[in-house]
Structure 1
Amino acid sequence: MTDTPVLKTTRFTMRPLQRSDCAALFPTLNDEDQCRYLTRPAFASEEELWGWLADPTWDGRTWIAEDAGGQVAGRFVAMPGHEDGVSEIGYIVCADRQGQGVAGECTAALVDYLFNQDGHRKLTAEVDIDNTASIKLLERLGFAREAYLREHEVTHIGLRDVLLYGLLKSKLT
């Protein structure tokens, strides 16, 4: 797997995951409302969360957004896509930081890195049909809706429709 480099934004340092990040992420990932659009329910303990975050069989990369004061603001991920040059991205912002532009700023930095440093040609994101905040973010960043996948995924809240978004590097230049 490729290393997870440190990325900088105006307000955040995006760095690799550390064990201590679990305590900062747990209040958000322990909340059913915050986990509504995850494929699994909220986590019952920090140990359970750490097992998920640090799963050795997962082949993605995690960046933790940390502000200048060292406070964790969110988790951002990139997972290998169906072929080289394609990755799927994902994100969750800590509940106490939502509405502050964390997702937009850090996802933009991740997109820039994946295209301009990592050599990707396409990025994708899957989003629950009801996750309007995530849909708006992806569209602001230039992602285009490529597919409406009906009854695509069974999650802890039931059978869900999913939108597939894509962003091509060739459309940015």
Structure 2
Amino acid sequence: MGRPRIVVVEGDITVQPVDAVVNAANEHLAGGGGVDGAIHRAAGAAELHAACAALGGCPPGDAKATPGFRLPARWIIHTVGPRWRGGGRGEREVLASCYRRSLAVAEELGARSIAFPAIATGAYGYPPEEAAEVAVGTLLTTLSRLEEIRLVAFDRATADRYRRLLTRSPRPPEAGGQPGR
């Protein structure tokens, strides 16, 4: 167990050359908008929908895996973030659990690399700055057998936020990355 290299990438999570991509899913694992919809479309909606239905849903803060189907990634790890309700209802703990459980599932699968989106910052309304703090803080303090963690940002503002937080961390990680890779 150690500390994986953390890389920030601005681009499309569905094309990341990693062993596992994390899907910011809903509790029914039914596909939806944003990252969830993009992953379902790119992986093959019918096949992924059937695999997700067999899992019987997923509670917030947990994570479950399916094959990656048509994605470059071998696996998709579905995690359900918290809906933002002002920050006083355990949202931070649930979001941190999403990152920890996704890492644990990736390790159980034998993955060496994983790509995360900005979980819960879309339709679930989590404030982007605080979500980035939770993501970076959790990933920096969780021991893992993985070699690389990618924080995949859909836009420059999110990528810059991750880079700034990683630069301030005590262990200087790799915060570069190629756009779209």
Please tell me the TM-score bracket, short chain as reference.
Answer: 0.3 to 0.5
Q: Rg bigger for which structure? A: 1
Q: TM-score, normalised by structure 2?
A: 0.36
Structure with bigger helix share is: 2
Greater fraction strand: 1
TM-score (norm 1): 0.37
* Structure number with higher relative contact order (C-alpha < 8 Å, ≥ 6 residues apart): 2
